[in-house]
Structure 1
Amino acid sequence: IQRVRPQPGQAESAQRLRALLEDSEIRESHREGDPRVQDAYSIRCMPQVHGAARQAFRYARDVLEVEANSATDNPLIFPEDGRILSGGNFHGQPV
């Protein structure tokens, strides 16, 4: 399922779910002869929902990490060579 929609967070969440369910009664009951057509929607969509959240959290973390370690002053002053540069680093669009 994950190969035909290769979202990284979805694949990672699906792998974790498989690991959590390994050797569980739920998983074993589905191997043969289960009369149900499908698992509950909440189970089937867990990798997609958790995966999207996982990717959003990673994106937010990455952006905030860069911003927390960046210079946003205007102008930027470089005392080592005396340069003073005006720019747009103060703009908060990435956040």
Structure 2
Amino acid sequence: MPTHCRSSTDIHSLRPHPGQTEVALRFRSLLDSDHHPSEIAESHRFCDRVQDAYTMRCCPQVHGIANDTIMFVQNIINTEINSATDNPVSFSVMEP
């Protein structure tokens, strides 16, 4: 597990992608867990110059855009499922 500073809200607030922020928050909650402390964080407890593997540093950006894409598609599907698609569309006229 990487260090938790990579998932800092300051870093991810620089880019306006909601999925990236959400994934970074998930990572941070996993890394800040008392039950599963990060081995890297423990081994570098007194060193603030640790650089995590690139694969871990780019996870919020990569997984975030995937998350945004899934949410976009889900919204389109929900709109289409809940829309009238009959052809022709007919309306009943209610007499007063």
| TM-score bin, normalised by smaller chain | 0.7 to 0.9
TM-score (norm 2): 0.71
TM-score (norm 1): 0.72
**Contact 1:21–1:27 (CA under 8 A) maintained in structure 2:** no
| Count of aligned pairs between the two proteins | 80
Q: 2:72 aligns with which of 59, 62, 65?
A: 59
Would you identify which runs of 4 or more consecutive aligned residues in structure 1 move more than 6 Å? none
Task: Tell me the secondary structure at the aligned position of residue 4 of structure 1.
Answer: coil
1:32 aligned onto 2:31 = no
Q: Would the alpha carbon gap of residues 53 and 29 (structure 1) be closer, same or farther in structure 2, given more than 3 Å must change?
A: same
Task: Tell me the secondary structure at the aligned position of residue 25 of structure 2.
Answer: helix
Opposite residue 3 of structure 1, the aligned amino acid is S
Task: Tell me the secondary structure at the aligned position of residue 78 of structure 1.
Answer: coil
Aligned to 1:21: 31
Greater relative contact order (CA < 8 Å, ≥ 6 in sequence): 2
Superposition CA RMSD, Å: 2.0
Taking the aligned partners of 2:44 and 2:18, their CA distance within structure 1 comes to 26
The alpha carbon displacement at 1:75 in A equals 1.7
The alpha carbon displacement at 1:56 in A equals 0.5
Q: Would the alpha carbon gap of residues 66 and 35 (structure 1) be closer, same or farther in structure 2, given more than 3 Å must change?
A: closer
Structure 2 runs not aligned, ≥5 long:
1-10
Task: Tell me the secondary structure at the aligned position of residue 63 of structure 1.
Answer: helix
